[in-house]
Structure 1
Amino acid sequence: MNTPTLGFTLAEKLAIVQTVDSVIIADGTVHKGELTALGQLMQRIEFDSNFILQARNIAEEQAKLILRAMTYEKKKVLVAILDEIAISDGFVHEKESALMTEIHSFIGYVQDLKAAK
Structure 2
Amino acid sequence: MKLDISEKLAVVHVIESLIMADGTIHIGEINSLSRLMHILDFDSNLLLQARNLGTDVYWDVLKEMSTDKKKRLVEILEEVAASDGFVHEKEIAVMNNVISLIGIEYQITNN
TM-score, structure 2 as length reference: 0.92
Paired AA for residue 19 in structure 1 = V
Runs of 4+ in 1 over 2 A off after TM superposition: none
| Contact 1:14–1:54 under 8 Å retained in 2 | yes
TM-superposed CA distance for 1:41, in Å, is 0.2
Per the alignment, residue 48 of structure 2 pairs with: 53
TM-score, structure 1 as length reference: 0.87
When the two chains are superposed, the root-mean-square deviation of aligned CA atoms in Å is 1.1
| Contact 1:67–1:75 under 8 Å retained in 2 | yes
Choose the corresponding residue for 1:75, options 53, 70, 82. 70
Q: Percent identity?
A: 48
Per the alignment, residue 90 of structure 1 pairs with: 85
In structure 1, runs of 5+ residues without a counterpart are 112-117
Distance (Å, rounded) in 2 between the aligned partners of 1:24 and 1:55? 14
Per the alignment, residue 99 of structure 1 pairs with: 94
Per the alignment, residue 24 of structure 1 pairs with: 19
| Contact 1:15–1:58 under 8 Å retained in 2 | no
SS for the counterpart of 1:110 is coil
TM-superposed CA distance for 1:59, in Å, is 1.7
Higher mean C-alpha displacement, 55-64 vs 10-19: 55-64
Per the alignment, residue 13 of structure 1 pairs with: 8
User: What is the count of residue pairs matched by the alignment?
Assistant: 106
